[in-house]
């Protein structure tokens, strides 16, 4: 099974500041690249809890007694840590990118390069597919998701075209969907289609809602001094991560006490997002949009 090499691997692992006997979370296990690097730095008493909602990820699990795999979305971070008797952890890593395996496995429906069912579910146990969305959402809802999650410039025209097309027959496959998109493409074809498919994928998997749940729980499960390391791939994700790390609030709202003292639960390790170097971008073109941010939970005295 082919998965991409982990993006910004050295920087992300260094950002965790791993203690050999600590407990860490890889919130997006995928191909296991980051997890293996974490395990290399853990001692016999160290522990790694890995999350991934994609059943295909389980094939990449190394045989290591220090690793506990949780086959669920990272939005349930706190629930499953508690279930396994873990009250707090020393570091959390999340790589929010879609794996190369998911893009390259045509049957999953993530890529416009293949014809298959219009699916896009990361968790095959869920019911909502991309096909269900394009056949059921009204034009206003479609316009909103394409504009908000894909920054598609002609989102209104696209939504209306989808609504018109489905009056003749159900949109079931990628080929069906592309037949609607082709006349509407503006600018570079690959870029336009990538924006449309990204928007659908985010909606299918409720990626922004899951990220919000995960971030808010990460603060509650980190030990003081624990690190949060997040790699994002589009502006919506990066903005949410940036605001949360700066203020402890998804919307970026600052919490003040009666005397006007501002409460900031994190100390920023990266003042500005780190990006892959030219060599990594050349070696792995899918890393180009990656942005890495690192924050450390303050002690009660610091906060």
Residues making up the chain, counted from first to last: 303
Asked whether residue 4 is domain-assigned, the answer is: no
For residue 132, what are the CA distances in angstroms to 3, 140, 190?
28, 16, 24
Q: Output the domain CATH number for residue 216.
A: 3.40.50.150
CB-based burial label for 35 (10 Å; 0-12, 13-18, 19+):
buried
Domain with 139 in it: what CATH number?
Answer: 1.10.150.170
- List, in sequence order, the alpha helices (H) in 27-168: 33-41, 77-83, 100-104, 130-136, 139-150, 155-165
Q: Provide the pLDDT for residue 236.
A: 93
Give me the residue label for tokens 């190369």. Answer: 100
Residues 70 and 217 in one domain: yes
Q: What pTM does this model have?
A: 0.91
Last residue of a domain, one of 204, 225, 249: 204
In a domain, 162, yes or no: yes
Q: Is there a single domain that holds both residue 144 and residue 199?
A: yes
Distance between terminal CA atoms of the chain? 45
Could you read off the pLDDT of 218-236 as tens digits, one per residue? 999 999 999 999 999 999 9
Evaluate whether residue 186 is within a structural domain.
yes
Please report the pLDDT score of residue 116 as a whole number.
87
Q: Are 46 and 81 part of one and the same domain?
A: yes
Domain count, the chain: 2
* Domain identity same for 216 and 84: yes
- Residues 55, 82, single domain; the answer is yes
pLDDT at 259: 67
In a domain, 303, yes or no: no
Which H/E stretch holds residue 246?
A: helix 235-247
In which element (H, E) is residue 71 found?
A: none
Together in a domain, 272 and 150 = no
Q: Are 132 and 141 in contact (CB under 8 A)?
A: no
Whether residues 179 and 247 fall in one domain: no
Residue 231 and residue 188 in one domain? no
Do 174 and 233 fall into the same domain?
Answer: no
Could you read off the pLDDT of 23-60 as tens digits, one per residue?
999 999 999 999 999 999 999 999 999 999 988 889 99
Same domain, 193 and 214: no
Task: Let me know whether 147 and 14 are in one domain.
Answer: no
Angle at 244 between CA 243 and CA 248, to 5 degrees: 125
pLDDT for residue 108: 59
114: in domain: no
Q: Last residue of a domain, which of 175, 204, 233?
A: 204
Q: Which residues of the chain have pLDDT under 70?
A: 1-4, 99-113, 258-260, 301-303
Last residue of a domain, one of 204, 224, 243: 204
Instruction: Note down the domain range covering 182.
Output: 127-204
Phi/psi at 258 (nearest 5 deg)?
-60, -30
């Amino acid at each position: 099974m082919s998965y991409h090499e982990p993006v910004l691997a050295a920087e992300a692992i260094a950002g965790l500041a791993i203690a050999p006997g600590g407990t860490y979370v890889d919130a997006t296990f995928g191909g296991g690249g980051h997890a293996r690097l974490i395990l290399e730095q853990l001692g016999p008493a160290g522990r790694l809890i890995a999350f991934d909602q994609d059943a295909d990820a389980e094939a990449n699990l190394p045989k290591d007694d220090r690793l506990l795999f949780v086959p669920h979305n990272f939005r349930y971070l706190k629930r499953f840590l508690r279930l396994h008797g873990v009250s707090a952890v020393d570091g959390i890593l999340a790589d929010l990118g879609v794996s190369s395996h998911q893009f390259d496995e045509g049957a999953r429906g993530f890529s416009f390069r293949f014809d298959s069912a219009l699916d896009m579910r990361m968790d095959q146990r869920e019911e909502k597919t991309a096909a269900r969305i394009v056949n059921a959402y009204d034009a206003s809802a479609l316009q909103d998701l394409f504009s908000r999650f894909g920054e598609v410039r002609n989102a209104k025209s696209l939504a209306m075209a989808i609504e018109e097309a489905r009056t003749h027959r159900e949109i079931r496959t990628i080929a069906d969907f592309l037949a609607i998109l082709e006349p509407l493409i503006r600018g570079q074809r690959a870029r336009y289609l990538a924006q449309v498919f990204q928007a659908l994928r985010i909606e299918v998997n409720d990626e922004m809602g899951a990220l919000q749940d995960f971030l808010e729980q990460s603060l509650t499960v980190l030990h003081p001094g624990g690190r949060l390391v997040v790699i994002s791939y589009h502006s919506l994700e990066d903005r949410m991560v940036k605001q949360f790390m700066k203020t402890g609030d998804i919307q970026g709202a600052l919490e003040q006490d009666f005397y006007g003292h501002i409460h900031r639960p994190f100390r920023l390790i990266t003042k500005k997002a780190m990006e892959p170097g030219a060599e990594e971008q050349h070696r792995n073109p899918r890393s180009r949009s990656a942005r890495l941010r690192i924050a450390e939970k303050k002690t009660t005295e610091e906060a």
